[in-house]
Amino acid sequence: MFAEIVADRHRQERTGVGEVVYGQGKSLDQIAAAIEALRDAHPVLVTRLAAAHGPALRERFPDGCLWPEAGLFCVGRDICAPCPETEAEVAIVTAGTTDLPVAREALGAARFFGLKAHLVADVGVAGIHRLMAHLDTLRRARVVIAVAGMEGALPSVLGGLVQAPLIAVPTSTGYGASFGGLAALLAMLNSCAPGIGVVNIDNGFGAAALARKILGAGAQIRVEAPAACQGAGE
């Protein structure tokens, strides 16, 4: 009988992004086993963690960092320490409040990768002045991640305002003819602003991984010790 978890402990060296644990559909025991298999090699991030598993995981790994609103759990790194808006190298922008869980997944994962990330929320294009108020932050960032559901117009507007590479994350926010995020996905792929990289619907983690790759293997990675995780901060 083979072990279900075949840890790919060298992935980080090969690809710059270590293996993480995709929590959806996994039992608590499967997740815990995966953490054990990887934690010697490097810090471990669990994504798409069911709400019910959170407290139990924290009991097993008391030094772990749990962020329920983001569906994240992390061992070996603090993914909850906020970063001041003025220092953000990754700006994560979200159109509406229902896009927040996906944006938080991106935010926590970016921190897991050692990046200084900040979340600018609720600046959808139907109130363009709200976006403009954060223009300095967005122009200072070295990567901008735009998270939007419904009509997915945010990246197009941002694409005309900033020089940084732009990563677009469609979300499944919406109803009816949003078809589970298809409308936002198609909009982002067809953006008239050139130079936007699109990831899968609701894939906040993937956006953070691409940001990590963009900011480079050679860059100085800042890793805070998880000494004092105090719950999620934004």
Q: Which of residues 102-131 bind its own copies (CB under 8 A)?
A: 119-128, 130
Q: Which of 161, 148, 156 is nearest to 204 (CA)?
A: 148
Q: Which x/- pattern, by CB under 8 A, does the window 70-99 give for its own copies?
A: ------------x------------xxxx-
By CB under 8 A, is residue 221 in contact with its own copies?
A: no
Any idea how long the chain is?
234
**Rounded distance between C-alpha atoms, residue 27 and residue 168, angstroms:** 31
- Among residues 108, 159, 204, 226, which is the contact residue for its own copies, using CB under 8 A? 159
**Rounded distance between C-alpha atoms, residue 57 and residue 75, angstroms:** 10
By CB under 8 A, is residue 55 in contact with its own copies?
A: no
Amino acid at 47: T
By CB under 8 A, is residue 150 in contact with its own copies?
A: yes
CB of 213 to its own copies, least distance (A): 4
Q: Which x/- pattern, by CB under 8 A, does the window 164-203 give for its own copies?
A: xxxx--x-x-xxxxxxxxxxxxxxxxxxxxxxxxxxxxxx
CB of 128 to its own copies, least distance (A): 6
Decide: 178 and 188 in contact? Cβ < 8 Å: no
For residue 126, the surrounding DSSP H or E stretch is none
**Rounded distance between C-alpha atoms, residue 80 and residue 176, angstroms:** 35
Nearer to its own copies, 78 or 234 (CB): 234
CB of 13 to its own copies, least distance (A): 9
Nearer to its own copies, 64 or 178 (CB): 178
Residue 20, Ramachandran bin (φ over 0: left; ψ between -120 and 50: alpha; else beta): beta
CB of 181 to its own copies, least distance (A): 6
* Of residues 14-53, those binding its own copies (CB under 8 A): 14-17, 20, 22, 24-26, 30
What is the 3-state composition of the chain as percent helix, strand, coil, each rounded to the nearest 5?
40, 15, 45
CB of 29 to its own copies, least distance (A): 13
**Rounded distance between C-alpha atoms, residue 32 and residue 38, angstroms:** 10
